[in-house]
């Protein structure tokens, strides 16, 4: 029998990354002399990978009267510029959500394999896990550039599950945003909504269960595979 696998999203699930993402987003806009955005605005932009985050940042600047300036910007170059700004500061202000380390160690002790499925570039996700001394706990990381597709496409999650040497029926996906939960639906595995994250509470309707904190994840995940 395959070992149970818990697949975690990163931003808004394991990591409160909003401060560093918002700071990097503001720096990106400033580099183009564009109007800035608030942390609250950036919070609603997170979860679909760097290209869409950058697109949303530029759209927010355009909506503040900088449409002509934004139309002159090459999107690919802006994404590259964002990563150059974000990579060195990815863990300056970001912090693990309360109870994360304890929950992960508990699950490992209970016999779970652990993996990360994030729309972040793989190298950024790996660096963050190393920074917080979590890397040894995880069997693998499926980044936004690791496969031919990214969440909500189920191929991203299925690729991560295969990389972790498991199968969907023995897997739980834990995440706070629609891409996480929709990927789980498509992959045929139960989803656990991370209610402490950045997603709208109504997204719980897309999951088979929800947890209000990382401390609840081990028990909730176990019930989903009981």
- Flag whether pLDDT at 23 surpasses 90: yes
The catalytic position among 9, 11, 16, 176 is 9
132-151: average pLDDT: 96
Structure tokens at 5: 């696998």
- Flag whether pLDDT at 2 surpasses 90: no
Which residues, in sequence order, are bridge partners of residue 11?
15
- Flag whether pLDDT at 36 surpasses 80: yes
- Flag whether pLDDT at 119 surpasses 80: yes
pLDDT tens for 68-109 read: 999 999 999 999 999 999 999 999 999 999 999 999 999 999
22-45: average pLDDT: 96
Q: How confident is the model at residue 49 (pLDDT cuts 50, 70, 90)?
A: confident
Q: What percent of the chain has pLDDT over 70?
A: 100
**Residues 104/112, Cβ–Cβ less than 8 Å:** no
9 catalytic per annotation: yes
Look at residue 211 in the predicted model and tell me its pLDDT: 98
Look at residue 97 in the predicted model and tell me its pLDDT: 98
- Flag whether pLDDT at 47 surpasses 90: no
Look at residue 1 in the predicted model and tell me its pLDDT: 58
Give the distance from CA 15 to its chain's centroid: 8
Q: What percent of the chain has pLDDT over 90?
A: 95
Which region, left, alpha or beta, applies to residue 49 given φ > 0 means left and ψ of -120 to 50 means alpha?
A: left
pTM for this prediction: 0.93
Give every CB contact of residue 22 below 8 A, 6+ residues apart in sequence.
37, 38, 39, 42, 43
Look at residue 48 in the predicted model and tell me its pLDDT: 84
Look at residue 110 in the predicted model and tell me its pLDDT: 96
Q: Provide the mean pLDDT of the chain.
A: 96
pLDDT tens for 153-210 read: 999 999 999 999 999 999 999 999 999 999 999 999 999 999 999 999 999 999 999 9
* Sign of the four-CA dihedral 26, 27, 28, 34: positive
Closest CA to 180 of 134, 216, 144: 144
């Amino acid at each position: 029998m395959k070992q149970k696998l818990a697949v975690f999203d990163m931003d808004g699930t394991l990591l409160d990354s909003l401060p560093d993402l918002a700071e990097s987003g503001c720096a990106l806009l400033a580099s183009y002399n564009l109007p800035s955005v608030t942390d609250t605005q950036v919070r609603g932009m997170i979860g679909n990978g760097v290209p869409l985050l950058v697109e949303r940042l530029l759209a927010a600047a355009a909506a503040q009267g900088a449409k002509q300036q934004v139309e002159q910007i090459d999107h690919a170059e802006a994404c590259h510029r964002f990563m150059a700004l974000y990579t060195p500061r990815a863990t300056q202000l970001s912090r693990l959500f309360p109870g994360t380390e304890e929950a992960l160690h508990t699950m490992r002790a209970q016999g779970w394999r652990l993996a990360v499925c994030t729309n972040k570039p793989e190298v950024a996700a790996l660096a963050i896990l190393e920074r917080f001394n979590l890397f040894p706990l995880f069997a693998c990381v499926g980044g936004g550039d690791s496969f031919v597709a990214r969440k909500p496409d189920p191929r991203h999650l299925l690729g991560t599950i295969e990389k972790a040497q498991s199968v969907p029926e023995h897997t739980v996906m834990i995440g706070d945003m629609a891409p996480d939960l929709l990927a789980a639906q498509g992959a045929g595995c139960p989803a656990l909504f991370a209610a402490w994250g950045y997603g709208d509470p109504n997204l719980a309707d897309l999951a088979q269960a929800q947890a209000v904190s990382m401390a609840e994840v081990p028990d909730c995940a176990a019930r989903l595979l009981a």
